Structures are given as C-alpha cells and as structure tokens.
Amino acid sequence: MAARVAQGLGLLAAATLAGPAAQAQGQGRQPGIIRDAEIETLLRDYTRPIFKAAGLSQQNIQVVLVGSDSFNAFVADGRRIFINIGALKQSKTPNEIIGVLAHETGHIAGGHLANMRQQLEAAQTASIVAMLLAAGGVAAGASAGANMGGAAAGAIAAPQEIIRRSLLSYQRGQEASADRAAVTYLNATKQSARGMLTTFERFQNDQMFLSQRVDPYVLSHPMATERIALLSELAQKSPYFETKDSPTLQARHDMMRAKLVGFTQPPEAVSRVYPRSDNSLPARYARAISAYRFGAVPDAVRQIDALIAEQPNNAYFHEIKGQALLEAGRAREAVAPLRRAVALSGGNPLIRMLLGQALVATDDKSTMDEAVRELNFSLQREPSSPAGWRYLAMAYGRKGDIPNADLASAQSAFMGGDFRLSRELATRARNGFKLGTPGWLKADDIVNYKPPVDPRARKKPPP
C-alpha cells in the first residue's frame, strides 16, 4: 500500500529500497532506547545552537538514543530526533554528528513529516481511483478472454507503480531540502559541513556495489554520488568549511564513544579498540566500564578512582562509580559518589533518580525522606520511567505512606503499559486519599483512563 512507503524521514537510508523487502526488515525485533546523562547532555550541547538557528529553541525537541550499532538517524514526529548509538561510535568528530543532527532538524523545521502524510493521503485517493478505473477493464476481460483480463490486471498494477515512484521522488526532494537546510544552520552557527560530507562518503563506499544494479527512482533518498556532489558544492562555499571542533568538544566526543564501547562491547572487543598500551583518558574510561560490567568490582572501582583522581570534578566518573557499587549490591557505598555526581552535574534528573534508587536499596529508613525527594524531583522531569516509580513506591512503603506507595505503583504499571493493574492499584490508592486532594485526583485520572484500542485486536462475535 502507498501508505506504507515511508514510516519516517532520515538522513541515512541512502540505499534503502522502499518496497516490501524493506518493510519486512522493519518488522523484526526492535532495538531498545538507551538513557545516559553524559551522552544526552553532550547531544543537547550539539543541538542547542542548531535548534536556535532553525527557530526551534522553544519546541523542546529531544534527541533519543537507539540501541542499534548501525549508522542511522531519523525523525518520526516533530518532537524527537532518533539517533543510533552506532552513529555515535563510528563518528570520529563532533562535526560528523552535528551535521547529522542538523539534517534531521531540517526535516522538522521544514514540516516534512506533515507534508509526507498529506502526500500519502493524496496517494491513497489516487490509488483508489486508479483501481476503480481499471476494474472495468478487469470485468470486461473476464468475458472477453484471458488475454484481455491479463492486460486489465496490468492496468491496475501500472498506476500503483507510478504513484509509488511519485511518492519516492517527493521524499528524495525532501531529503535534498533537509541537506540544504543543514548547511544553512551550520553556517549560521559558524560550523563546518565537512562532517556531513564525511558521512555521505561513508554511504558512497557502502553503495558502490549497489548503485549499478538499483533503479535510482525506487530509492527513498538521493543516490550517494549525487548527494555528495550537491552538498560538496554548498559546503565548500562556506567561510567555515575549514573550521575544526574545539579541543574541549572533541575530548567530550571521544569520552562518549569510549563509554558506549565499554558498555556495549564484550571485553575482547574493548581491548581491540582500546588496548592496554593506550593510556589515554578515553581508553581508561572504556576499560574501567568494561571491568565493572564483566570483571571484579574492586578492580573496576580502583580504575574509576584513578579517573576521579585525574578529574575530581567530572560528575560522570562519580556517577559510574556509584552505579558500579549499586549494581554490585553495595548500595550504602554507592550513595556518597552519587551525591557527589548530583552536585557536580547541577542536579541532573537521571543521576538524581539513580541516587534515589541507591537510597532505597540501603533499606535504611532514615534515608527514605531523601529518597522520596530525589525520586519525586527526577520523575517530574522523567515521568515515563517505570523503574523510577517503582522505587518511589518502595520508599513510600518503607515510610508507611501506603496511599502514596499504591499511587506510585499504579504509575509504574501505567508507564509499563499494564493498564489493568494500574487501574486496580489506583483504585486502592484513591480510597486512601481524602476526596479532592492532589493524590486522589492523580489516582482518579488513572482509574478513568481509557487506553487506545489496538486496531489489530479482533472483536469478539456477539453471543
């Protein structure tokens, strides 16, 4: 169907066929979403000037990390840019990722998703009309003979193919528009478009064997060679083409890549990327993370302490130490480094949530007030975390505040998609609050929530 030609718009599917094979690939197991305070802070610093140049500073656009090792990024609505951790790990400079984010920003600023939906609706209408017009030929062919019927069936298929190609041509135009917008944003922020060229050249190498066999009119994105030529002309006209990333930004980018390798790769892979002979800070960071995940925690803590000694005001070193201790069942020892990480990060909500979890895990009633405070603060800013609500429920339970414990449990179930359980827990919580109080109102909202009906669900026949 034409409506399934495009699910979203992105920079990086340059050789993706927009047909049934591509759709089938998307129906497999989906990678998860990754949350990390250090990486998200860095990406916000990358996007802040770009969003300002695009006039989107007030739109609260989020960059979402996808746990896939492929080099990809896309937008699926006007509020979020999705980027694979593979893109972050493979990019050697901040400028490469900033160029990717600038391109995706061009899709949002240009309203491309809304425009594509309009095109899809128009295509559906055109498709229906084409089928109806051809249907008369099919009926005539049924009485005139098999050859006539086959010709009429072809008359149905031909308009469908024309419509599909028209949609893909429209999408290729949007990709080119996003490329031009990205260069405009980079110029406005005095940054180079060289990183975008580097990214496209990567695609060109991947596409060399494909380009001679694929019809460019059935691609959703322009062919890499064409794209590079157009972008190169625009980029090299910029007075900022030779501008380099600042050493500070490059260092943060290198630390981000090391962190992702340490968390996502087995020890032998980490050793290949960062061998023992590499004594750089990123290499030691990756090895310390790998040690806590796969080795002995005391050795990992020793390595992390060495990092902290070198950069005592690095919030994320203290955070990783607290996380390592917490996951090793040493919650009491985790509290101090996590408190330090909260202070150094300016109260990052994700780190405050981790601190709240550690405080709950100590099972010390004297720390439950602090746990409630930290978790409530973080959940006001990160309300979609089932684990955060679950730990808040535990903290309230240990304080003996059963109505709030039930309400937090209901919110945890709600965020996890278990609407039946959330309704049961919210009903119990509502009975424990005074009518009209904030807790009662929140519980009542959950009780009365009507989840959306899954269109795939079959209706039961009447008895």
Return the minimum-mean-pLDDT range out of 6-20, 49-63, 83-97, 370-384. Answer: 6-20
pLDDT of residue 196: 86
Query: Per residue in 399-443, pLDDT tens?
Result: 999 999 999 999 999 999 999 999 999 999 999 999 999 999 999
CB 218 within 8 A of CB 19: yes
pLDDT of residue 2: 31
- At a CB cut-off of 8 Å and minimum separation 6, what does 114 contact? 78
- Residues 268 and 446: their CA atoms lie apart, in Å, by 48
Mean pLDDT, residues 375-382: 96
Query: Per residue in 245-304, pLDDT tens?
Result: 999 999 999 999 999 999 999 999 999 999 999 999 999 999 999 999 998 899 999 999
Domain positions in the chain:
2-236, 248-447
CB 76 within 8 A of CB 228: no
Q: Is the pTM of this model over 0.85?
A: no
Query: Per residue in 58-104, pLDDT tens?
Result: 888 999 999 999 888 888 777 889 999 999 999 999 999 999 999 99
Q: 248-447 falls under which CATH superfamily?
A: Tetratricopeptide repeat domain (1.25.40.10)
Query: Per residue in 298-347, pLDDT tens?
Result: 999 999 999 999 999 999 999 999 999 999 999 999 999 999 999 999 99
- Residues 262 and 278: their CA atoms lie apart, in Å, by 14
3-state DSSP assignment of residue 83: strand
- Residues 156 and 131: their CA atoms lie apart, in Å, by 6
Residue 130 has pLDDT above 70, yes or no: no
pLDDT of residue 202: 75
Query: Per residue in 137-177, pLDDT tens?
Result: 444 444 444 454 454 444 444 455 544 444 444 445 567 78
- Residues 184 and 103: their CA atoms lie apart, in Å, by 10
Backbone angles phi, psi at 34, to 5 degrees: -110, 135
